[in-house]
Amino acid sequence: MDSKVFVLCFCAVFVAAEAIEMNLTNEWKQDIGWEIYCSWRIPNGDSLQSVRLHQNNQQFLIFRPETDGDSRVLVTRRLTDVLTTNCALSKEDRQMGTCVLTFELYQPQKQGFMITCEVSGERPYFRMENKTIYVDKYVPSTDAALRVVSQNKDTGRVTLNCTSSGVPGPNLTWTILGQQKIPHDFTGVSWNATSKLWDAWSVLTYTSNADTTAVCTPEVSTAGRLVKGKSAEYNSAECSRGLVALIVSAALYLVLVR
């Protein structure tokens, strides 16, 4: 009785320690879209029987080294994207390998999606492991950038254009440092087919003086949270100070050259 329990426990521990190890990760690739990696390592004495890939619970690829050889590439052209899947063994003993899924976006991503990777070993163990990843419709906003569109030295009126990109296109909010939020004058957002991101911009005209700093912050609400990107600031005094520094260094340069 005791020895039976011992054997059972031993087996359970043995099997748990000798499971298929796999990783499923995703990454945003600038100017392409999403890249998803499924990699596996099968315990010694076993080898890969198959890898099945599913999108939103629908199988779209099966990689079977016995019939496919060391690798399999599948290109699926769809209305919104081109999906290239490249599965390959990285070792001859069929124990390690990776499938790389590249989603090249041709239209803005409409919704998140789910990818499942299922890795199976050979008989007699019939090991099986699967993982699912949810790829959200979200790419963090780029740092805000400010451009002075126009400036009136006499009145202090300045027009700024703030830009930031992401998925979805961020809301750009304006504050005069230490004061309340102020509304923008014009704003726009458009999908950039090169970067695959939404480019957002916002224009503000206000009366600036040495004491006012205008701050533009990209904001996105995602999964019930408000995520703020890196702000950009404008202060007319800094510009004048920058100008003074430039003049001083130019004068210094002239003195030194002479």
Task: Find the shortest distance in angstroms from Cβ 4 to ligand NAG.
Answer: 27
Told to check if 102 binds ligand NAG by CB under 6 A, we report no
* Per-residue mark of binding to ligand NAG, 150-189 (x: CB under 6 A): -----------x-x----x-xx--------------x---
Q: Do residues 131 and 75 make contact, with C-beta atoms less than 8 angstroms apart? A: no
Task: Rank residues 33 and 168 by Cβ distance to ligand NAG and give the closer one.
Answer: 168
Among residues 32, 100, 145, 203, the one that binds ligand NAG under rule CB under 6 A: 203
Of residues 7 through 66, those in contact with ligand NAG by CB under 6 A are: 21-23, 31, 39-41
Q: Closest-CB residue for ligand NAG? A: 195
Task: Rank residues 2 and 92 by Cβ distance to ligand NAG and give the closer one.
Answer: 92
Q: Could you tell me which of 131, 100, 116 has the C-alpha nearest to residue 19?
A: 131
Among residues 134, 194, 257, 258, the one that binds ligand NAG under rule CB under 6 A: 194
Among residues 220, 232, 234, 236, the one that binds ligand NAG under rule CB under 6 A: 220
Among residues 195, 213, 231, 235, the one that binds ligand NAG under rule CB under 6 A: 195
Task: Find the shortest distance in angstroms from Cβ 154 to ligand NAG.
Answer: 22
Told to check if 118 binds ligand NAG by CB under 6 A, we report yes
Applying CB under 6 A, the residues found at the interface with ligand NAG are 21-23, 31, 39-41, 118, 130, 149, 161, 163, 168, 170-171, 186, 192, 194-195, 199, 201, 203, 220-221
